[in-house]
Each structure stands twice: as C-alpha cells, then as structure tokens.
Chains A and B, each alone.
Chain A
Amino acid sequence: MKGSLLFVACLLVVGAVAAAQTPKVGGELVIAFGTDPESLDPNKITSAPAGMVLTHIAQTLLLMTEDLQVAPLLAESWTISEDNLTVTLYLRKGVLFHDGTPFNADAVKVNLERFRKATYAFLLFPRVQTIDVVDEYTVRFNLDKPFAPLISHLTHNFVAMVSPKQIAELPEGKDIMEPIGTGPFKFDRWVRGDHVRIVRNDAYWGQKPYLDSVVFKVVPSDATRLVLLETGEVHAIMRVPPLDAPRVATTKGLEVVRVPSVRTIYIAFNYQKPPFTDVRVRQAINYAVDKEAIVKEILGGMGGVSDAPIMPLIFGYTPQTPYEYDPEKARQLLAEAGFPKGFKCTLYHPTGRYMKDAAIAEAVQAYLAEVGIQAELITMEWAAYLAFLRKPVTEATFDMFMLGWGCVTLDADYGLFPLFHTSEWAPVGSNRSFYSNPTVDSLLELGRVEPDPVSRKAIYASVLNVLWEDAGWLFLHYEGQINAQRTVAKGLVHHPREYILAHQAWLDL
C-alpha cells in the first residue's frame, strides 16, 4: 500500500514539474518500445504498444486519466437511468475527424455497431441490446440487465472513434491500417517492425499539441533501448531493467520514471488436488515466502506486495492483513495439516513474460524448501504454457503455477470473476486453479448487478476477505513499470496502462 502511494506521488510530481515551464512549439519526439503494434485498427488491438500509438490518433468517448479516473473526452457527460438500464451520453460539439467528417451521434453508432461485430465485442458490451441516436449529439445505450462496468469500458481503445467515412469505404473483411480519428495527432506512416510516425493535427478541437510529430520506434532489446536513450537518438523508453534503473537515474540528462501498472502476479494452487485442498497448507505457503524481499531484491522495488488479489488502484479494492514472512508459523501449519516434513510438488512458471518471472519462481522454490516443501520448477514457452494451463480439472497435472492478470477495466469484477467463479473453471474460463467457494460465487454474482458503488465496494470487500482467509493463491505482488526519459522531454505522461503519452509534450532543446 505504501508502495502504491509512492508511485502515485511520483506521478503527480512529474506532472507538476512539466507544468511549471513554458512549452516550446515544434520538433519531433521519439519514444522507443519493445514490440511492434499488431494493428492500428481500434477493434483489433489488444496490446499496450498498439493502444499507446492509437490513443494519440483516435479518441474514445470517455478518458481513463493517469490517476485512473473516468473523465469526459468525446462525450462531455453521461447519465444513467434509475433502473440502470439506459445510459445516455452527451457528445462534444464541433469535433472533426482528420478527414473533415464531423463527429456526431451517427459516427458513434457506426463505430459501435462495427465493434459489436468484432471478435472482442462481448468483453465490453455483453449487456447492450441496442444503441439509439437520440439527436445529433446524444447517444443512448439500452441494456437488458444492469452492467456497472459499462462506463469504464467506454475508455477502452477497442471503442476509439474513427471516421465513419473510413468505415464505409473499408472493403469487407479488411482491417483499418491508417486510422482516421479525432485525436491531436494524425497518422503519418507505419514501417512495420521499425516505427510508426504521427504528425500534429492543426485542426484539433482541444489544446493543440506542441510537437510537430512523434515517432514510436520499435526496439526489442532492453539494452539497446537504453543505449539509444543515452546517445539521444530517442527521448523516452519503456521497460528499463530494474537493475539498470539506479545507473540511469544518476546519469546526467536522463531521468527514471516509476509508474504503477494494474497487473497482479500470483502463484495458484491446484485447488482440487491434495494437499492443496487443505487451507492450512495454502496458508503455510503464504507464510513461507518473503514477498517483501522478492519485491525489494528481485524487482528492485518495482511493484508492491499484494494485500488483495487485485491491486490498490482497482475499483473494489480493500486491503487485507498481509501474510507476513513467518517460516516458523508455516512449519507449524504444515505439521497441523499432517506434513511435518513437507512434501514434493511441481511449480510451473513462464520465463520472460513477466518482470523477472523465472528469478521469482526460483526464490519461491528456495523459500518453500526452507519449510520442507520440495517444489520442482518447470518452465515452458508462452503459447505452450497457456495451452498446458487450459486443461479441464480431470486432466490438469500441475500442483502450482505462476501467472499474471492485468485488470485493464480497473473494476474488481474483471479482476475476480474470471479467476475465482466456479462457472469459469478451465477450459471454459480463466479459473485455471479450479477454485470453488459458494460464498465467493454468490458475492461475485451480486457484484455484477449491484448498481450502487458504495454497496458494490462493500460486496467486493467481503469477497476479498474470503479469498484472503482462504489463501486462494500464493499472493505475490503487483508490478510496476520503469520508464526513462531525457530531461529535455517535458510533459510526457507515463500512464498505468503501460503507455507513454505525448499529447502535451514538448522538447526543451
């Protein structure tokens, strides 16, 4: 908890410093990241790099700010009916797409109807039955059942607005390659595997950007990104290795920026397989591992120890009393459960997917060994790993596995339901550990339909408490991001969605 407050504080400081100086107009800013966007079609993109580029070009109806509040963007305000079955959005007037097409209610409908045919539609709008154009600047969603996360879902890149003209002219079955949005920057060019370039939109409806252009450069190697930052070929980089951060921080002209992310890392048990069926065993494992040390020593302080299955910035979060590192207590619990000498088990983990995942697995192995649990580490390549973990309970052979979950909608429902509800057991959903608890099930169902935020928060507080006492996982940590930038780059926003945003950035050359 302390850690997260610190992150947020850092964030605010970065913002404040940038605001204190007078911006200069012009120039090209270069940001380096690790992977090429898979697409720039709003309806298709799933990765953070793609979302980061698109956010500059095509805007959403509502905005998720860097302190994770929902704010107006293309919609100026919204109302929700008494029965929570209609949501009305009032749109901003006088907005033009980059091709000159006006932005209005029809444009919204065209975009959303297109998205409803896309693969990922059910994730965001499961309850929306119809979308009505009330007048030129008013849109109404009609739901069959209340769906509380709808408002925050409208901030997702999937529903960024592109010109209806572009959609109309798009051949059947083709994706948008060069999005025409309403954003402060216009698409310029995309050299696959190399870079995407965007240029200032001089007709932008809001505060116009200072920069002439921004280049997003694809640089897969962490070490190379650092070199490029040092030589000045790029102005900001993502994902600095934790061990390099202190050196970068003391290099003249460079600064390190630490930002929270919304991803929680955990080790799940095969909940239906002895000895993990015994709550004392699960609790013992939680006491046996020094999570503080892992975050401090392995992650270089980049992240925070979990005190709930979701991280602090998520709606519905209530902190629980952490399982302090206490090997003695762990041994005692194991003895009570009938394993005074421990037992043997397997621990599956990915490598290179999450920050220091393999090193963390090794540390967990060492901690478990101290209380007598002999965990055999097994690693797999990512695609194979996902397939391995998507087996029905009768075929699942693992004892423990490590995985991460990015709660991108920032709502507890998304962070808990798919992982803990009995109906979501693999292979149907993402409850790969076969967790099952009737109390949790009914509370999670309640949380989905309860309209009042205060009551909803109370419901999730109870869910978290049950999951915590139950030691549903070995709760590890939530990840932070380490970015770095040259001090000449001002006004960059480092967003928890793993974006660097240059909307209001400028170069102090």
Chain B
Amino acid sequence: MIQYVVRRLLLAIPALFGVTLLVFGILRMLPGDPAQAMAGVHATEEFVAQVRRQLGLDTPIYVQYGRFMAGLLRGDLGTSIRTGVPVSREVWSRLIPTLELTLVSLALATLLGIGVGVVSAVKPYSIFDYVSMSAALVGLSAPVFWLGLMLMLLFAVQLRWLPAAGRGGLARLVLPSVTLAASSVALIARFTRSTMLEVMGQDYVNTARAKGLPDRKVILHHALRNALIPIVTVIGLRFGALLSGAVLTETVFAWPGVGRLMVESISARDYPVVQGAVLVLALAFVLLNLLVDLLYGLVNPRIQYD
C-alpha cells in the first residue's frame, strides 16, 4: 500500500514536468506581451522594451524556462509581473478559498447526488424519480452565471436569508457552493440511478433478496457497495470539473479564489502566476486522483494495490 502510494507520487513527477513544459509553451505562443500589457496603451516602444528587460523577458524562451525550473527546484515559483508579489504567496492565499469552495461543493454533490440517485433507483418511475431526474436535467443545463444570480436574487434580495456575495463565515459559503455543486449533484444523481438499476438486476442481489435479507440491507450493502466503484470514479473526475467551474462561480460571487486569479493573470500575460497556479492545481489534481484510487480499495476490498 505505502509502496503503491510512493510509486504513484514518483510517477506524478514526470507528469508535472510535462505540465510545466506545456504551460510554458502555450503561454508564450499566445500573441501579446506582458511588458506591453503592463505598460499599457500609453507606453512608448522604448518604455515597453525597458519593462521587458526588467522582467527578464528579453532572453530566449529556453533561458526563461531554465530559470523557471531552477527556481522551481529551490521551491521558488517566481514573482508576479503584475503585482510584484511572490507567486507562491499569491497562489497559496487564493488556493485556500478555492479548495474550501470546491471541497464543500464536492461533499454536497456526493451526499445529495448519491442519496437522490439511490432513492430514484429503488422506486423507478415514481413521482420522486420523475421530479428529481427532471430537476437534475435543469441543474445540468443551467449556466452558472444565471443560476448564481437567480439564487442571489431569491435568497439575498427577496428573502434576505443569506448574504449575497463575498467570503467570510459559513453563511457566505452556502450560495456559491450550491451553485457550483448544482451540475455535479445532477450528474452524480443520474449516474447513481442508472448504475444502481443495473446492479440491482444482478444475480447476487437477487440471491441476497432470496436469502430473505431486508430490502434496506440488500440495497445499501449489496447493491450500493458494488455500484459505488464507478460512482467514486465519476466523483473523482467531478473534482476537476469543479475546480475549473469555480472560475465562473468565483466571479459571480466575488470569491477570492485561484480561478479568478488565473483569468486575471492570463489577460495580463502574467506568466509566472499562470505557471505557478497551473502547477499547483495540477498537483492538487494528482493528489486527489490518488485519493480516489485509494478509496476504491475502501469501497471494495477485492481491489489490491501492488
């Protein structure tokens, strides 16, 4: 087990190395120059060149990459072009709010999604099934911008139950995490429903039933247990979707997360921040996937790690 974890972590290193190459390459292929973006519409070419020199952007790309990697090995992600703040500080201070938002949304999506999916599967074609699956369809297709604003108008402006936007305290977490979770709840619910239906037709479930086990036990211990393996995979994948979906949610709810930081940094061509943020997010993604794989074993002990 420990060996497996260590091996997976070691395998992540070349993957992350690939990420740096890719991000570095793509960013520099974009037209537009950070020096120009920083200097503004008003700047003379002479001035732009001066800024470029100051930022070390006048050197060939492989030299820049070498510098970046050398810094990385020392644990230094560089300094933001736009703000002059160390990238590690900038990304870290924005990563925590994003993780807070995505993890709460993920928990919400998991509990609600699996719950609704199981109930729908147990009583297929019931009113609950129809209503929840239609709601899921809406949840899947509602754009975050619209949904977020609607929730805000209802719960903050009309009912005055919750604060509208910003971060600080649990109450402010409710609307953004519900908005972000909406499509995942829907997806997980629909997926759970179909997987459960499939599993419940299997022989071992019928056998369990034939043995005279109560319904509840059959559903939770036999059917759900087996259905969970693909569901856990889907949930793991949703984390990535939540991280990227957070960009819009963060914008709507004025949430000071890493998604917004990345959007701002890309438009300013703030290379160091974009590189740093992508790298940190990739690392988070690798770690989470590892966690998902370990969870398989927990859900289904037949899976062996070697």
Query: A residues near B, CB below 8 A?
Result: 32, 35-36, 38-39, 41, 44, 46, 119, 122-123, 174-175, 177, 191-195, 217-221, 223-224, 227-228, 230-231, 233, 380-388, 390, 403-405, 418, 424, 426-430
Give the residues in chain B near A388, CB-CB below 8 Å.
Answer: 31
CB distance from A202 to the nearest CB of B (A): 27
The smallest beta-carbon distance between B149 and chain A, in angstroms, is 6
Q: Is the CB of A119 within 8 A of B42?
A: no
Contact B32 A227 (CB under 8 A): no
Return A23 CB to nearest CB of chain B, in Å.
Answer: 27
Residues of A with C-beta under 8 A to B156? 227, 231
B157 engages A382 (CB within 8 Å): no
B261 to chain A: closest CB distance in Å? 6
Q: Which of A194, A195, A387 contacts B36 (CB 8 A)?
A: A387
> B202 interface residue, CB < 8 Å from A?
no
- Are B42 and A233 in contact, CB atoms less than 8 angstroms apart? no
15 other contacts beyond A194-B167, A223-B149, with CB at 8 A cut-off? A35-B264, A38-B83, A193-B260, A217-B166, A218-B256, A224-B149, A227-B156, A227-B157, A231-B160, A383-B267, A384-B30, A386-B36, A386-B41, A430-B41, A430-B44
27 A-B pairs whose Cβ atoms sit less than 8 Å apart in the complex: A32-B254, A44-B84, A119-B47, A123-B42, A174-B84, A191-B93, A193-B256, A220-B251, A220-B254, A223-B149, A223-B252, A224-B165, A227-B152, A228-B164, A230-B157, A233-B163, A383-B31, A383-B32, A383-B34, A386-B32, A386-B36, A390-B45, A403-B41, A405-B41, A424-B44, A430-B41, A430-B42
Inter-chain contact B32/A381, CB cutoff 8 Å:
yes
Of residues 1 through 49 on chain B, the ones whose CB sits less than 8 Å from some CB of chain A are: 30-34, 36-38, 40-48
Q: Does B190 contact A (CB under 8 A)?
A: no
A219-B165, A223-B149, A390-B45 given; A193·B257 CB < 8 A? yes
Bound-state Cα–Cα, A36 to B83, Å: 10
Given A231-B157, A383-B267, also A192-B94 (CB < 8 A)? yes
Q: Is the CB of B32 within 8 A of A233?
A: no
The residues of A that contact B157 with a CB separation of less than 8 Å are 227, 230-231
Which of these, B48, B90, B166, B252, contacts A194 with CB under 8 Å? Answer: B166
Provide the bound-state CA to CA distance between A219 and B132, in Å. 34
Whether B251 and A221, one on each chain, are in contact in the complex, defined by CB atoms closer than 8 angstroms, is yes
Residues from chain B with Cβ under 8 Å of A119 in the complex: 47, 50-51, 54
Contacts known (A224-B152, A227-B153, A386-B36); A194 close to B160, Cβ less than 8 A: no
Given known pairs A227-B153, A231-B160, the reply for A219 and B47 (CB within 8 Å) is no
Residues of chain A within 8 A (CB-CB) of B165 are 219, 224, 227-228, 233
List A contacts of B239 (CB < 8 A).
none
In the complex formed, the residue of B with least CB distance to A389 is B41
Known: A192-B94, A224-B164, A387-B31. A39 touches B36 (CB 8 A): no
| B164 contact from A39, A231, A382, A430, Cβ within 8 A | A231
B residues less than 8 Å from A191 (CB atoms): 93, 256
Q: In the complex, which residue of chain B has the Cβ closest to the Cβ of A385?
A: B32
Contact of B254 with A39 in the complex, beta carbons under 8 Å: no
3 shortest interchain CB distances as A-B pairs: A383-B32, A193-B256, A194-B256
Also in contact, A193 and B261, with CB within 8 A (given A119-B50, A384-B31, A390-B45): yes
Q: Is the CB of B84 within 8 A of A36?
A: no
In the complex with contacts A227-B152, A231-B156, A387-B33, A38-B82 CB distance below 8 A = yes
| Interchain nearest-CB distance for A82 vs B (Å) | 32
A295 vs B261: C-alpha distance in the bound complex, in angstroms? 34
A32 neighbours in B (Cβ, 8 Å):
254
**One of A224, A382, A385 near B254 (C-beta < 8 A):** A224
The residue of chain A having its C-beta at the shortest distance from the C-beta of B31 within the complex is: A384
Give the distance in Å from the alpha carbon of A156 to the alpha carbon of B278 in the complex. 36
Q: How many Å lie between the Cα of A359 and that of B160 in the bound state?
A: 36
What chain A residues lie within 8 Å of B38 (beta carbons)?
46
How far, in angstroms, from A221 to B249 measured CA to CA in the complex? 10
Residues of B near A223 (CB, < 8 A) are 149, 252
Contact A390 B36, beta carbon cutoff 8 Å: yes
Complexed CA–CA distance, A96 and B34 (Å): 38
Q: How many residues of B contact A (CB 8 A)?
A: 50
A367–B82 alpha-carbon span in the complex (Å): 40
B191 at the interface (CB under 8 A from A): no
Contact in complex: B267, A427 (CB < 8 Å): no
Residue of B nearest to A36 (CB): B264
The residue from A36, A39, A192, A382 contacting B267, defined by CB atoms under 8 A apart: A382
Task: Please report the C-alpha to C-alpha distance between residue A231 and residue B149 in the assembled complex, in whole angstroms.
Answer: 13
A192-B94, A223-B149 in contact; A428/B30 too (CB < 8 A)? no
**With the chains together, A193 CA to B93 CA distance in Å?**
9
CA distance A111 to B32 in the complex (A): 33
A428 and B36 contact, Cβ closer than 8 Å, known pairs A224-B254, A227-B164, A231-B163:
no
Residues from chain B with a CB closer than 8 A to the CB of A381 are 32, 267
Contacting A at CB under 8 A, from B65-85, are 82-85
Residue of A nearest to B156 (CB): A231
**Contact between chains at B44 and A428 (CB < 8 Å):** yes
Please tell me if B119 contacts chain A, counting CB pairs below 8 Å.
Answer: no
| Interface residue B268 (Cβ < 8 Å from any Cβ of A) | yes
Q: Which residue in chain A gives the minimum CB-CB distance to B46?
A: A428
**Bound form: Cα–Cα A17–B112 in Å:** 53
Q: Is the beta-carbon distance between A429 and B44 smaller than 8 angstroms?
A: yes
Cα–Cα, bound, A385→B34 (Å): 13
B269 at the interface (CB under 8 A from A): yes
Closest B-chain residue to A32, C-beta based?
A: B254
Alpha-carbon distance A93/B40, docked complex (angstroms): 37
- Closest residue of B by beta carbon distance from A407: B42
Q: How many whole Å from B53's CB to the nearest CB in chain A?
A: 11
Interface residues as binary, B143-181 with A (CB distance below 8 Å gives 1, 0 otherwise): 000000100110011001001111100000000000000
Taken together as a complex, chains A and B put the C-alpha atoms of A193 and B255 apart, in Å, by 8
Q: Which of A193, A228, A388 has the most CB of B within 10 A?
A: A193
**CB closest chain-B residue, reference A193:** B256
**Chain B residues, CB < 8 A from A429:** 44-45
Could you say which residues of chain A place their CB within 8 Å of the CB of B94? 192-193
- Residue with the highest number of chain A CB atoms closer than 10 Å, among B44, B163, B164: B164
Residues of A within 8 A of B48 (CB): 390
The CA-CA distance from A41 to B82 in the complex, in Å, is 12
A272 to chain B, nearest CB (A): 18
Shortest Cβ gap from A481 to chain B (Å): 18
Contact B164 A233 (CB under 8 A): yes
Let me know if B51 and A175 touch, CB within 8 A: no
Task: Name A390's closest neighbour in chain B (CB-CB).
Answer: B36
Task: Tell me, in angstroms, the Cα distance from A223 to B251 when the chains sit together.
Answer: 10
Give the nearest-CB partner of A380 in chain B.
B31
CA distance A424 to B45 in the complex (A): 9
Most chain-B Cβ atoms within 10 A of its Cβ — which of A119, A219, A231? A231
